[in-house]
Amino acid sequence: MNLIIDVGNTNVKLAVFKQNVLIHKCEVTLDNILISVNNLKKEFKDLKQAIIASVGNLKKSDVNYIKKHFKLIILNSSTKVPFQNYYKTPKTLGVDRIALVAASVYKYKKQNVLIIDAGTCITYDFINNKNQYLGGAISPGIRVRYLSLNNFTENLPLLERKAADNITGSSTTESIHSGIINGILCEIDGVIHQYKQKYKDLTVILTGGDADFLSKRLKSSIFANSNFLLEGLNFILEFNSN
């Protein structure tokens, strides 16, 4: 059994896989990670190996503790992965993006796949049917766009995410929702359209915290999978265990 540890800036996602099946998932704060790991170790006696993907600040002491109790892989640019990486600056490629590409290799072998991760940032990652990762794009996510309008203007309020009922906002609040949400939807649909012009047999995956919200509103045909990153991390762990 495998323990998957996905460390964000404030929270940590923990998952347990039995072979390739996700059997447990939870989200905890950074401060509670060791308590939660210990609880999982007690609940799942066969947990033997683990992988950490961290874009946040995981304490060295926490990593050392986990290393004592598991056969541990810390995902980085040097980790063996199941695809050819053609990114020109591989050391700057986020571990979350590496995991997402690995998931596409596992789920959609020898296909042209565009993975869209809608979280703090919206990332686009493309791997072709020759198993070559070519790169992608990074743009601000929904929350970042709301924050930026509030932070960099004098009078625009900070709003919570909300579907835009109308393309034409009849108030400042409605105009902000329309600009941000419709703007992101047009961006994503536009990027998908550009890729489909070049790759007719394109498979599109949407994942991340805002995936469910966006998937209902996109015009393009996509597969939404909120566990895609966790599945990719598990695949990398299995790939390095064989």
- Of these residues, 6, 62, 96, 210, which one is catalytic? 96
CA angle 11, 12, 18 (to 5 degrees): 155
Give the gyration radius of the chain's Cα atoms: 19
Write down the residue that tokens 């766009």 correspond to. Answer: 145
Strands (E) located in the chain: 2-7, 11-18, 21-29, 49-54, 71-74, 84-85, 113-118, 121-127, 132-140, 203-207, 223-224
3-state secondary structure of 167: coil
Cα 154 to chain centroid, rounded: 33
Write down the residue that tokens 């050819």 correspond to. Answer: 84
Max Cα distance, the chain (Å): 59
Catalytic (active site) residue 189 = no
Q: Give the CA distances from residue 143 to residues 34, 109, 121, 148, 149, in Å, rounded to whole numbers and listed in that order.
A: 29, 33, 9, 9, 10
CB burial of 132-161 (b: ≥16 within 10 Å; e: otherwise) equals ebeebeeebbbbbbbeebeeeeeebeeeee
Q: What's the rounded Cα separation, in Å, for the pair 23 and 4? A: 11
- Active-site residue set: 96
